[in-house]
């Protein structure tokens, strides 16, 4: 018996498995979040920040230097007023040029600081987005069975954006706090009691900030979740707009969106209310400090304890130390949103793929195509534990190059057989083997490259017809794409399109008919040239004459490959060397069409009743 060649994943690519042979044009993420779930959200994000530490270091140097110059301006003003204007003991021109020099240097440093800061923040956002998308591609069908697409999209977009905003504006707030420290230091050198008066309101600002944080965080979490709920409703209605319109259910769907929007409005309003209660107080308290300085400082100036220049410098510093507290409310809010968003993102990143390569999994290279389902038992994740399994003791052997038709009523497990073969799910008991190799011992990429599935509801990307067909082989020559389309009878309508092969199909390919989409999907699989092919009612929407031409081409193309045909038409059964009847999750009969008609009453009954109830647009008997 012929066995497939298997190689280790790190073997020489010339001797191993190469899925598409396309070189990556973009660098992978510079770092990924810490997988330790016991750490806080910021510590888990820290590796992404450390990967950009050179940019952050340069940002810090430019920021501190620029801030130092900015904080020194009131001291220059003080000296100018006290010496050049009040005491007339110095030159005003020197102080003017000093201020001009400080302004030019501060501009350059602040420009560099902001540019480097946002450069790093956006690259961290890109790294995080790439990490999430890469993880989403590894998650199994069972994850997408229970999580709505809109929920995932919201976390991969708006939640990441919340983190990026914190990374961009958080350091700005931190630098403002540093300006507070430097300003207080300069103020202490001028007059200690007056400095204490200036900062007397700051402890109250800190207390209000803590109370605001405790109030805002849960509201931020709820708001982010309800934004995802709205995104989910919109996504489902856009994707299913044809269904909505066909049932004239627009009003009902608008009501559903309105309900979700009202829930979002409540939490967003509560969030705004919390900000409205605390932010004005946080910003007003430093202004109260300025009033106290004018009162106490003016009295000191009258008494001659400090000069007019010192009072002017103090007034400038009070304005300066008020800036961090004006930013504090925004940064605290953004920090809470980022914390909530991070936890929502980590819920995805912490989701372990249910289907993954085992340690030591081997690449499948040049398989012969022998398939075996050995005592397979399977129920879908989350199914009623008291319900019977979809497959219960399935035993089936398909020899290399053989074409087998799976026939049975709805829910008998035909499509499930294909999903287990491609390892979209793992069996609960038993094994699925390719050339005597358990599929769980093979790498997913090599298995799915050699075992390809064409479904009755194909998905097309909003790209050109050429690119849709070449999806599995992006580097395929145009001649190969045309050859695959000819075999699938897709070239006949492509030539009639305005842009031909460059015609961009609409979302999910809905600018094409159902039969045209099926032919494009069939051509896509034929171009990939899998050794094992599953046709899951792949021509159900194609008319009789086109289907006959497709079958004529398929007879030659299927001669050297193992094929499973999930059949709902008598014409499709004609492609099969053998017909297998599924009932109750197991094989109950196997043989040619004629043999089963003569020996299996259940098979004959399915034929007589029209099979699983699928509509047959061509008037053929469905099974």
CA–CA gap between residue 403 and residue 389 (Å, rounded): 26
Helix (H) or strand (E) holding 435: none
What's the pLDDT at 199?
78
Report whether pLDDT(482) > 80. Answer: yes
Report whether pLDDT(14) > 60. Answer: no
- Per-residue pLDDT reduced to its tens digit, 95-107: 788 888 888 998 8
Average pLDDT over residues 409-414: 84
Report whether pLDDT(5) > 80. Answer: no
Of the pLDDT bands very low, low, confident and very high (cuts 50, 70, 90), residue 157 is: confident
Residues near 390 by beta carbon (within 8 Å), at least 6 away in sequence:
378, 379, 380, 411, 413, 416, 585
What is the separation of C-alpha 343 from the centre of its chain, rounded to a whole number of angstroms?
15
301/483: higher pLDDT: 483
399/249: higher pLDDT: 399
Of the pLDDT bands very low, low, confident and very high (cuts 50, 70, 90), residue 47 is: very high
DSSP codes, 314-338: HHHHHHHHHHHHHHHHHHHHHHHHH
- Per-residue pLDDT reduced to its tens digit, 304-340: 777 777 777 877 777 777 677 667 666 777 787 788 8
**Structure token pair of residue 410:** 């709805």
Highest mean pLDDT among 149-163, 294-308, 312-326, 478-492: 478-492
Closest CA to 258 of 239, 233, 221: 233
- Per-residue pLDDT reduced to its tens digit, 174-196: 777 788 888 888 888 888 888 88
Structural contact between residues 166 and 334, judged by C-beta atoms closer than 8 angstroms: yes
Among positive and negative, which fits the CA dihedral 332, 335, 337, 339? negative
Exposed/middle/buried for residue 542 (C-beta within 10 Å: 0-12, 13-18, 19+):
buried
CA–CA gap between residue 461 and residue 494 (Å, rounded): 16
Structural contact between residues 481 and 527, judged by C-beta atoms closer than 8 angstroms: yes
What's the pLDDT at 439?
94
**Residue the block writes with tokens 């309003």:** 269
What's the pLDDT at 326?
63
- Looking at residue 125, the DSSP 8-state letter turns out to be H
Helix (H) or strand (E) holding 432: strand 429-434
**Structure token pair of residue 247:** 């049932």
CA–CA gap between residue 483 and residue 488 (Å, rounded): 9
* Strand pairing class (578-583; 403-407): parallel
Report whether pLDDT(428) > 90. Answer: yes
**CATH number, domain 41-349:** 1.20.1560.10
Q: Cβ–Cβ contacts within 10 Å for residue 135, how many?
A: 18
C-alpha pair distances (Å), 361 with each of 139, 169, 451, 462: 18, 45, 17, 35
Q: In what order do the strands lie in the sheet with 371-378?
A: 391-398, 371-378, 429-434, 437-438
Average pLDDT over residues 407-432: 90
CA angle (391, 396, 398) in 5-degree steps = 135
Q: Does residue 359 come out as left (phi exceeding 0), alpha (psi in the -120 to 50 range) or beta?
A: beta
Does residue 460 sit in helix, strand or coil?
Answer: coil
CATH superfamily of 367-457+531-609: P-loop containing nucleotide triphosphate hydrolases (3.40.50.300)
What is the separation of C-alpha 175 from the centre of its chain, rounded to a whole number of angstroms?
32
Q: Which of 27-36, 284-293, 365-374 has the lowest mean pLDDT?
A: 284-293
Structural contact between residues 241 and 250, judged by C-beta atoms closer than 8 angstroms: no
**Residue the block writes with tokens 């074409």:** 403
Strand partners, 394: 376
516/209: higher pLDDT: 516
Of the pLDDT bands very low, low, confident and very high (cuts 50, 70, 90), residue 87 is: low
DSSP codes, 150-192: HHHHHHHHHHHHHHHHHHHHHHHHHHHHHHHHHHHHHHHHH-H
What's the pLDDT at 416?
92
Structural contact between residues 4 and 366, judged by C-beta atoms closer than 8 angstroms: yes
Residues near 174 by beta carbon (within 8 Å), at least 6 away in sequence:
none
Among positive and negative, which fits the CA dihedral 180, 185, 189, 195? positive
432/460: higher pLDDT: 432
Structural contact between residues 260 and 244, judged by C-beta atoms closer than 8 angstroms: no
Strand partners, 5: 365
460/238: higher pLDDT: 460
Q: What percent of the chain has pLDDT over 70?
A: 86
CA–CA gap between residue 318 and residue 74 (Å, rounded): 11
Structural contact between residues 17 and 449, judged by C-beta atoms closer than 8 angstroms: yes
Contacts of the segment 18-25: beta carbons below 8 A, 24+ positions apart: 19/445, 19/446, 19/449, 20/472, 20/473, 20/474, 20/475, 21/475, 22/474, 22/475
Q: Global pTM?
A: 0.71
What φ, ψ does residue 400 adopt, rounded to 5°?
-55, 135
Domain ranges of the chain: 41-349, 367-457+531-609
**Structure token pair of residue 180:** 């507070």
Highest mean pLDDT among 16-25, 205-214, 400-409, 434-443: 434-443
What's the pLDDT at 1?
40
**Structure token pair of residue 619:** 């008037």
What φ, ψ does residue 592 adopt, rounded to 5°?
-75, 170
CA angle (358, 359, 364) in 5-degree steps = 65
Q: Which of 19-28, 231-240, 404-413 has the lowest mean pLDDT?
A: 19-28
Closest CA to 379 of 361, 368, 392: 392
What's the pLDDT at 430?
94
Residues near 305 by beta carbon (within 8 Å), at least 6 away in sequence:
191
Exposed/middle/buried for residue 381 (C-beta within 10 Å: 0-12, 13-18, 19+):
middle
Q: Does residue 372 come out as left (phi exceeding 0), alpha (psi in the -120 to 50 range) or beta?
A: beta
What's the pLDDT at 622?
35
**Residue the block writes with tokens 């018996």:** 1
What's the pLDDT at 537?
77
- b/e string for 428-453 if b means 16 or more Cβ within 10 A? eebbbbbbebebbbbbbbbbbbbbbb
- Per-residue pLDDT reduced to its tens digit, 566-598: 876 777 787 788 999 998 888 999 998 888 888
C-alpha pair distances (Å), 413 with each of 379, 419, 464, 540: 10, 10, 34, 18
What's the pLDDT at 370?
92
Average pLDDT over residues 130-139: 88
CA–CA gap between residue 260 and residue 237 (Å, rounded): 13
Report whether pLDDT(131) > 80. Answer: yes
Structural contact between residues 537 and 547, judged by C-beta atoms closer than 8 angstroms: no
- Looking at residue 27, the DSSP 8-state letter turns out to be P
What's the pLDDT at 614?
39
Indicate the length of the chain as a whole number: 623
Report whether pLDDT(20) > 70. Answer: no
Q: Which of 319-323, 387-391, 540-544 has the lowest mean pLDDT?
A: 540-544
């Amino acid at each position: 018996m012929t066995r497939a060649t298997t190689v280790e994943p790190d073997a020489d690519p010339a001797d191993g498995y190469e899925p598409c042979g396309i070189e990556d044009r973009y660098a992978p993420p510079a770092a990924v979040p810490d997988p330790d779930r016991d750490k806080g959200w910021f510590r888990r994000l820290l590796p992404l920040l450390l990967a950009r530490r050179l940019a952050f270091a340069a940002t810090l140097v430019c920021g501190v230097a620029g801030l130092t110059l900015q904080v020194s301006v009131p001291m220059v003003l003080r000296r100018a007023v006290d010496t050049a204007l009040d005491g007339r003991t110095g030159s005003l021109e020197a102080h003017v040029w000093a201020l001009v020099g400080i302004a030019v240097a501060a501009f350059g440093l602040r420009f560099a600081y902001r540019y480097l800061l946002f450069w790093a923040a956006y690259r961290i956002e890109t790294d995080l987005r790439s990490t999430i998308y890469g993880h989403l591609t590894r998650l199994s069908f069972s994850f997408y069975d229970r999580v709505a697409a809109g929920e995932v999209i919201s976390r991969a977009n708006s939640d990441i954006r919340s983190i990026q905003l914190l990374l961009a504006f958080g350091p700005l707030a931190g630098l403002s706090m540093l300006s507070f420290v430097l300003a207080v230091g300069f103020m202490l050198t001028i007059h200690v009691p007056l400095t204490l008066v200036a900062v007397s309101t700051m402890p109250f600002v800190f207390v209000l900030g803590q109370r605001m944080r405790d109030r805002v965080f849960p509201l931020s979490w709820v708001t982010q979740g309800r934004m995802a709920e709205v995104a989910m409703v919109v996504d489902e209605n856009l994707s299913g707009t044809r269904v909505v319109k066909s049932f004239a259910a627009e009003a009902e769907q608008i009501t559903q969106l309105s309900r979700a929007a009202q829930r979002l409005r409540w939490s967003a309003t509560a969030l705004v209310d919390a900000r409205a209660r605390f932010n004005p107080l946080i910003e007003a308290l430093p202004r109260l400090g300025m009033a106290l300085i004018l009162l106490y400082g003016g009295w000191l100036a009258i008494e001659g304890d400090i000069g007019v220049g010192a009072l002017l410098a103090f007034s400038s510093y009070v304005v300066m130390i008020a800036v961090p507290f004006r930013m504090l409310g925004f940064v605290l809010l953004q920090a809470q949103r980022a914390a909530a968003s991070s936890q929502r993102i980590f819920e995805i990143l912490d989701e372990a793929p249910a289907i993954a390569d085992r340690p030591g999994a081997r690449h499948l290279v040049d398989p012969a195509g022998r398939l075996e389902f050995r005592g397979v038992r399977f129920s879908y994740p989350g199914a009623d534990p008291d319900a019977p399994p979809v497959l219960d003791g399935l035993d089936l052997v398909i020899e290399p190059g053989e074409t087998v038709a799976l026939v049975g009523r709805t829910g008998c497990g035909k499509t499930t057989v294909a999903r287990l073969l491609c390892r979209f799910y793992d069996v609960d008991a038993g094994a699925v083997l390719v050339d005597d190799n358990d599929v769980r011992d093979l790498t997913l990429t090599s298995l799915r490259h050699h075992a390809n599935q064409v479904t009755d509801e194909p998905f097309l990307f909003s790209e050109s017809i050429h690119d849709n067909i070449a999806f599995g082989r992006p580097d395929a020559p145009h001649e190969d794409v045309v050859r695959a389309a000819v075999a699938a009878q897709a070239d006949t309508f492509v030539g009639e399109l305005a842009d031909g092969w460059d015609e961009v199909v609409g979302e999910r390919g809905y600018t094409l008919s159902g039969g045209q989409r099926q032919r494009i999907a069939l051509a896509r699989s034929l171009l990939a040239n899998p050794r094992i092919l599953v046709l899951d009612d792949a021509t159900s929407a194609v008319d009789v004459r086109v289907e006959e031409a497709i079958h004529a081409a398929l007879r030659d193309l299927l001669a050297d490959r193992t094929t499973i045909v999930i059949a709902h038409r008598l014409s499709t059964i004609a492609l099969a060397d053998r017909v297998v009847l599924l009932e109750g999750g197991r094989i109950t009969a196997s043989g040619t069409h004629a043999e089963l008609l003569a020996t299996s009453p259940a098979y004959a009954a399915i034929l007589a009743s029209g099979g699983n109830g699928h509509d047959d647009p061509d008037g053929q008997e469905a099974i």
